[in-house]
Amino acid sequence: MIRLKLSSPLLATAALGALTLAAVPATAREQAAPAAQTDAKPEIGDFGFDLSGMDKSVQPGDDFYAYANGTWAKNTQIPADKSNYGMFTALADLSQKRTQEILEAAKADPNSMIGRAYASYLDAPAVEAKGLAPIEPWLNKIRAVDKAGLAGLLAEADRSGVQHFFGGYVGQDDKNPEVYIYTMFQGGIGMPDRDFYLKENERNAKLQAAYLKHLENILTLAGEKDAAGRAKAIYDFEKQVATVHWDKNDSSDATKVYNKMTIAELAQAAPGFDWATFIRGVGVNEDSILVSQPSAFTGEAKLLADAPIGVIRDMLVVRSLDGFSGVLPDAVAQEAFSFYGTALSGTPEMQERWKRAVDFTTGNMGEAVGKDYVAKYFPPETKAAMDILVKNVLAALDTRITNLTWMQPETKVKAKKKLANFTTKIGYPDRWKDYSTLEIKAGDLFGNALRSNQFAHDDNISRLGGPIRRWEWGMTPMTVNAYANFGMNEIVFPAAILQPPFFDPHADDAINYGGIGAVIGHEISHHFDDQGAKYDETGKLADWWTPADVAAFEAAGKALVAQYDAYEVLPGEKLDGTFTLGENIGDLAGLTIAYDAYKKSLGGKEAPVIDGLTGDQRFFLGWAQVWRRNYREQNLSQRITTDPHSPSIQRTWVSRNLDPWYKAYQIKQGQKLYLAPKDRVRIW
């Protein structure tokens, strides 16, 4: 689940209308999700939960994750081509296999764009035979560039999908969400975060050595001489870049990263680089832009001005081969994977080529594939049941806002207005993206990748000056995820996540509310988390809370930060409660309001006992089941540094803040997860 700024994310057969709370009759908001049909069984277990995966030797109050999922965790191996494995990845595998079937059929049709793209990736012999010839003209441009031509070359790199010293995209202006604006953000490092360069520990030392060797190997594959010495020069330069980067907490702060400038003001603040040539070169003809991390741009501009041109050229060669590694010969693909897949995430093997071919096609033409996917795999009953679940969860938050003791009355009015303006998108877009200007050629894998990158870039830039595309989606229907989009004031649930264990129309309501209900609540509550709460009902970044509201909210947030700061995930490696705060608020609030919605759906009646489990017990098991996941140690360590989501065990443990969890499982003082009532964090 994810929260997006432009949006932000959790990591069919008919057009769908948007839902808003204001349009939902009160009676409809209170009805339960459709009862499971008597002639249909849930896909998982007797009522939607896998009882065999539990470890009942563990007390729920000591480790609720192990109690609910311990046997599953012990018996489940991570596939060799994965860095982690759980419910998300199991559904992603299913989605990938279903998509393969669609693409195999399309491959037989010479008029099918998606079929040609897929077939071009599968043709490994043709890729090997061409070697580096397809990318050599671009590499030669890099090798010939001088400082005077650098800005123009980087603009071309940007359009071609080659990462370099900074990046940009067109999205809504946070303070004027009816207008698009070009936003720039820091770049220039090849490892995922500045901490990998600057934070000294044994794990990072190994990664630094592996990355240095990777730089050398890529330069060798490119045919460069003295690869070891040149790799060291690249690494040293990147470490300098890392020192001027903003850290992940500042870079996640919506207020701090909103810095509107003219191009002239950027040039004055960050001298040493031809910003006008670069910005015009990427296609931006407007004068005002947003600069996310101004001091980083100042630092990077000086570093670029001072650096030898040879180091800059070598960096761009490496970035180009890494960026296109999947569509180049296997030696390049394997080298890129050896660092980014194995060293960073611990994954032993690359995915089979057909899987990579599926990902390539859906990554570049996702909605062209999505049309066929939803027609085949997204039944109308799923949408109908989801509509009701969403309405019930929205209504539960509305009631929660009414009853808040810490929020001032005038702020409650605005919060309810924001909630009433929500748009919910379920399954797939009601308008599909048009790929008719994208040229996909048979037998031209590199060219297909390059043109796809250019198409995506040009499409993004073309937003400038146009109306807001409220029909657009940030994920494909085949994506197992969900997201909240602050500027659009929307929540989005692709078709592929609306399956067991997250949602099954034939499962027990308690499981569905604990699963997809809490996911819905998570995404809704992102609009009221530490960053989402900064956006008003129109999607505008604005101060709409009173000082008293802010103080109360921040106090609760600090308590949640402290709770997660205390979790040691690996020896010597703790969570960053500030970095993960938004997602932790999402989990806490999502589970809280989903529980309210579940209880409301019972209409005042007691839930039946099933297999000895009460409704409340099943609700919390539904939550725990969706977070079943095993990690490779390297992947888990990387996530601690780069992922704003807490790991699955700690996400499950958020239940320790809910009073009903204590009652459901008779949690007692002295058990490891027990919190005294005064220490339980309550926000929404």
Under 8 Å between Cβ of 582 and 248: no
What does the DSSP 8-state code read for residue 477? T
Rounded Cα–Cα distance for residues 275 and 282 (Å): 11
- Which token pair is 290? 């947003």
User: Splitting the chain (684 residues) into consecutive groups of 10 residues, what average pLDDT does each group show?
Assistant: 50 30 27 46 96 98 98 98 97 98 96 98 98 98 98 98 96 97 98 96 97 98 98 98 97 96 98 97 97 98 98 98 98 98 98 98 97 94 89 95 95 96 95 97 98 98 97 97 96 96 95 97 93 94 94 94 98 96 96 97 96 98 98 97 97 98 98 98 94
In this structure, which topology does domain 2-23+40-89+378-433+472-679 adopt according to CATH? Collagenase (Catalytic Domain) (3.40.390)
Instruction: Provide the terminal-to-terminal Cα distance of the chain, rounded to the nearest Å.
Output: 19
Q: Are 228 and 235 in contact (CB under 8 A)?
A: no
CATH number for the domain formed by residue range(s) 136-344 = 1.10.1380.10
CB 494 within 8 A of CB 523: no
CA angle 400, 401, 404 (to 5 degrees): 85
State the DSSP string of 611-643.
TTB-HHHHHHHHHHHHT-EEE-HHHHHHHHHH-
**What tokens appear for 374 in the block?**
């939803």
Q: Cα-Cα-Cα-Cα dihedral of 460, 461, 467, 469, to 10°?
A: 0
CB 547 within 8 A of CB 616: no
Enumerate the CATH 1.10.1380.10 domain ranges in the chain, comma separated.
136-344
Nearest CA among 186, 146, 163, 149 for reference residue 270: 186
Euclidean distance between CA atoms 282 and 152, whole angstroms: 9
Residue 39: what pLDDT?
60
So what's the pLDDT on residue 171? 97
Question: Which residues, including other chains, have CB under 8 Å from residue 330's CB and lie 6 or more apart?
Answer: 124, 127, 128
d(CA 245, CA 248): 9
pLDDT confidence of residue 258: 98
Contact predicate 284/182, CB 8 Å: yes
The per-residue pLDDT for 486 is: 96
Q: Which helix (H) or strand (E) holds 53?
A: none
And the tokens for 113? 């764009």
Per-residue CA distances from 127 to 72, 82, 291, 444, 445 (Å): 41, 25, 39, 8, 7
Q: For residues 199 and 331, is the Cβ–Cβ distance under 8 A? A: no
Q: Where in the chain is the domain with CATH 3.40.390.10?
A: 2-23+40-89+378-433+472-679
In total, the chain counts a number of residues equal to 684
Please enumerate in sequence order all residues whose Cβ is within 8 A of that of 416, keeping only pairs 6 or more positions apart, or say none: 398, 401, 402
C-alpha 165/C-alpha 10 separation (Å) is: 28
- Residue 505 phi, psi dihedral angles, 5° rounding: -60, -15
pLDDT in tens, 532-543: 999 999 999 999
Give strand pairing partners of 427: 494
Cβ(632)–Cβ(84) under 8 Å?
yes
Residue 161 gets the label, from left (phi > 0), alpha (psi -120 to 50) or beta, of left
The secondary structure of 295-322, three-state, reads: HHHHHHHHHHHHCCHHHHHHHHHHHHHH
